[in-house]
Chains A and B, each alone.
Chain A
Amino acid sequence: MTPSPNSVGAVIPQTMHFDQPLDFRSGTRLDAYDLVYETYGALNSARSNAVLVCHALNASHHVAGWYAGEPDNIGWWDNMIGPGKPLDTNRFFVIGVNNLGGCFGSTGPKSINPATGEPYGSDFPVVTVEDWVEAQARLADRLGIVRFAAVMGGSLGAMQALQWPLSYPDRVGHALVVACTPRLSAQNIAFNEVARQAIVTDPDFHGGHYYRHGVVPRRGLRLARMIGHITYLSDDVMAERFGRELRDGHIKFGYDVDFQIESYLRYQGDKFSDYFDANTYLLITRALDYFDPAADHGDELARALARAKASFLVVSFTTDWRFSPARSREIVRALLDNKADVSYAEIDAPHGHDEFLLEDARYHALVRAYYERIAGTMGSGA
């Protein structure tokens, strides 16, 4: 992969240290923590053009551009964000942040617990989408951003974009909610549970304190990624890309790789287990499971969303069976019930849940048009 022509270029992650304790939904508290983030573009003088981009399960603060000396280390949403791109960094000041509990520099299970002098491991608090939004709001405070022009995300990132107008109704103008669901289904939770079981039953897991043993539960993490990956792709795209194609041209009457899809999943699993932290995986899948804004409102999503003042763009993809269009329509229905400003697009695209990361012309044109609208309402002050 090479950087796209309209890249933000070489970027440098930054770290913000926080000393004010953060109380989590679970009742636990973190006395101090770091958040790693990147920014692209420039904050205008009115401070009205900031956009927060929230990451999903396995991504990070590295949203766009590349790192000096690592031209292949391209941000996970580089096709969406950059000069002249749908989220145009010539007009918007874009922030990507690694969430708490992550494994890319923000305080998480890998970080040293000051109480023990050892990594937190499984002692790291179970964080929720609401907790992440709280931490992001504190980062915004420190960056001098009172109100975001927009908060945007796909999948778990979209849950944060949806939570923002609920946690801080006056601090976000627009929410772009892509490939989202208002709550996980039993099936979604089931897949997460299989992934977690793969990790916690790995003999190298050591109750989450594998760091002190100098090992990582690689086999579990690998399986977790494999099962997750299946849910990100549509049946059609798997059929098209792999079908029943055999790696070596013939079946071998054994249990090693026969089919290309097996080879692909193993490769994805291996790659993932090289860089991702198992405790973070557990924690993030739990954040997914627990996200349920309607739970405190008699299971009525419309009531939960009543406090939102933002305008919304909700986008789903027809072949996404993980968070299907029907789930996005629940969000739209709840917003409509509140007479909110909402637009909804259901894009007929082949790739399943992963489509939100891909460069689909219709999808990108919609996002571009929506940011055009946002730009028209935010005032320049540039």
Chain B
Amino acid sequence: MSAILTLLRADFALIESWIAPGSRVLDLGCGDGTLLARLKRERGVSGYGVDIADANVLASLERGINVIQSDLEAGLSTFGDNSFDTVILSHTLQAMRHTKRIMQEMARVGREGVVSFPNFGFVKNRKQVAAGRMPVSEEMPYQWHDTPNVHLCTMADFDQFCTDLGMAVIDRRAFTDNRELAEGDPNLLGALAVYRFRKR
């Protein structure tokens, strides 16, 4: 898991740069609250983390952030329309069943959405599939039979998904080996995708 955490921190820095100081942030699938605590410290944001797991709720509470224990699959009915500047879904989308609904809910409660996910189109994944095996990587460190990931996609898929949902992509970046990709096709060379979008 430490490899994932390191990788996540790479997208955390980017996400932080997208967050206006003092803004209101909702962090969906906040885990132990690392990102929101960082945004609170570095950007002076206010807001809430949301997580379903008891251990994560406790860890977030211990980290000093506001946390709401809730199942994202059930939607965000606890949150009012347009009540946040940014809604973040970091490294969680691929493990959700109601993918479309959570995107729509993010757009409903927030002005902007930020989503990060492992890019299935990454060249190393393509090679493993070409070799006849399901990909196992730093970003997707699971065997096919024990993975929590149910909706994996490529960046090209996600671009189309945003278009279909009426979301405008403001920015999209890719990370590989914990570094932001400077050139080349992100859908081929990026291991982790980070999107910033809003309602069209």
| Residues of chain A having any CB pair with chain B under 8 Å | 329, 332-333, 336-337, 339, 341-348, 362, 365-366, 369-370, 372-373, 376
Contacts and interface: CB of A to CB of B under 8 A. Distances in A.
Given A339-B24, A345-B69, A372-B62, A366 B57 contact: yes
Contact of B68 (A332, A337, A362): A332
A343 B54 contact: no
Contacts of A373: 61, 64
Contact of B66 (A337, A341, A372): A341
Interface of B: 24, 46, 48, 54, 57-58, 60-62, 64, 66-70, 77-80, 83
B58 A366 contact: yes
B67 to A, nearest CB: 5
B182 to A, nearest CB: 39
A344 B69 contact: yes
Nearest to B26: A336
B58 A342 contact: no
Contacts of B67: 343-344
Nearest to A311: B66
Contact of A333 (B57, B60, B78): B78
A142 B80 CA distance: 42
Contact of B78 (A336, A343, A347): A336
A372 B62 CA distance: 8
A337 B58 contact: no
Contacts of A376: 64
Most buried by A among B60, B62, B70: B62
Contacts of B60: 343
Contacts of A362: 54, 58
Given A332-B68, A345-B57, A346-B69, A339 B46 contact: yes
Contacts of A329: 78
Contacts of B24: 339
A253 B66 CA distance: 57
A343 B46 contact: no
Given A336-B79, A336-B80, A365-B58, A342 B64 contact: no
A373 B80 CA distance: 27
For the complex of A and B, 7 pairs with smallest distance between CB atoms? A369-B61, A344-B68, A369-B62, A346-B69, A345-B69, A343-B67, A333-B78
A370 B67 CA distance: 11
B54 A347 contact: yes
Nearest to A344: B68
Given A333-B78, A343-B68, A344-B68, A370 B48 contact: no
Nearest to A312: B66
B62 to A, nearest CB: 5
A336 B58 contact: no
A60 B30 CA distance: 39
26 contacts: A329-B78, A332-B68, A332-B78, A333-B80, A336-B79, A336-B80, A336-B83, A337-B83, A341-B66, A342-B48, A342-B68, A343-B60, A343-B61, A345-B54, A345-B69, A346-B69, A346-B70, A347-B54, A362-B54, A362-B58, A366-B57, A366-B58, A366-B61, A369-B58, A372-B62, A373-B61
Given A332-B68, A362-B58, 8 more contacts: A336-B79, A343-B57, A343-B67, A344-B68, A345-B54, A347-B54, A362-B54, A376-B64
Contacts of B83: 336-337, 339
Contacts of A339: 24, 46, 83
A348 B71 CA distance: 13
